[in-house]
Amino acid sequence: MGGWTLMEMWKILFGLLFTRWPSCGIRMDTNTGAPDGLCSTFVEPYYSKYDCHEYSTVTPDGFRLGLQRINSRSDSGQKGPLLLNHGVLNGGDAWVLNSPDEFDVSPAFVLADAGYDVWIGNARTTRYSYGHEKLTEEDEAYWDWSFDELAAFDLPSMMYLVHNVTNKKIHYIGHSQGTQSALAALSEGKLIDIVNKVALLAPVAYDSHIWTPLLAGAAVLHLDQLVKMLGFNKFSTKTPQGKQYVDLICQEGNLDCDKDYVTAFTGTNCCFNYSKFPFYDQYETQSTSTKNLVHLAQLYRADKFQKYDYGAAENNQRYNSIYPPAYDLSKVPTQNLLLVYGGLDPLADLVDVQRLKNELSPGYKYLFKPNFAHLDFIVANNCKQQLYDEVMAFFEDEQNMGITFFENLASNGDTGMQ
């Protein structure tokens, strides 16, 4: 936490408790219905190059998830289906923010151009999903979820929709929490029958060594207790409460968030086009449940990769144990698994990634990007050459493409690609 004292953290707590929320001139992130759709907003302007179709699926607990299918008109998905899954406080549009006409073209377009049948997933409550069959945003139950539900319900619902439409096994690319939900699901034997190869970018299982103020501050504050006191169910940096929380974190951490919000919370991204930040800020960040952030804070404090901790009594009812069960990473299939991580990423710190690597079974491959921070994996300049050529080599046949991946040798200080 950069030497923050407990007193400084409690100042943030009291700021949240007693601040009168102003009517700030900020965009309110309340529309999860997305009447315009991701396709019409980001892809249809390039209709001469790409087909884009909207799909939806309903999770077992009633959330309507949006998916978008993008194909190049010149190469219509002959390399098979590939699902892209975003991270926390992002939505599916993170994969298409940069247009195909730009040097920093987005990953979804790169992959479609290469011949993949690209599907973009959108988790519950994000902009390009479509609410709930019965609940509204005003209902507490609408926000009663964490990444446990993303792993148990959202990811399987999206994957089986893609499989049912294409009748093919699916490649998967997850970023940030999109890796966390995949690791949790795979560790419990989900999706194994329909998944092909899996690439996890900025992989997160353990998070005890994060050094971003937003999440580390939440963990030190025991955000779960704070939520009970204040009754916050939704977290968004676009609401007055969320913005005030971020402002207080920045103030107490001596962070110039007005000047460099991105670096303050995602690290020094080597290849991020900072001149485009005002455009990105129109779409990101997106809302998540406060319970989801509470869960991440619990992992930080417990130093474990485990299910949500409801307290001894409710844990016993849910799990038949007073402690939440851990996700067993040794059960994740690894023969078709690639980990890609950065040297400057405060959210997927090298110590936490190394622990993940040590607990996975043998067989996976990995790449190390020493200059990458957390956002470089999705919005890097020239992302094709910087990263996605290598990811596609893994999906195809890297031995024929002149690329050598490291396999898990359980050595300290490994540096990824040779």
Annotated catalytic residues are 176, 345, 374
Residue listed under structure tokens 């690609």: 417
Q: Please, what is the Cα angle at 244 between 206 and 146, to 5 degrees?
A: 35
| Crossing angle of helices 213-220 and 290-302, rounded to 10° | 70
Task: Count CA within 13 A, CB hemisphere, residue 353.
Answer: 30
Assess contact for 192 and 159: CB atoms under 8 A: no
- What gap in Å lies between CA 297 and CA 5, rounded to an integer? 18
- What gap in Å lies between CA 96 and CA 122, rounded to an integer? 13
Which residues share a beta bridge with 174? 85, 200
Q: Which two tokens stand for residue 292?
A: 């989801």
Question: Pick from 120, 131, 50, 64: which is nearest to 90 by CA?
Answer: 120
Question: Cis before residue 285, ω within 30 degrees of 0?
Answer: yes
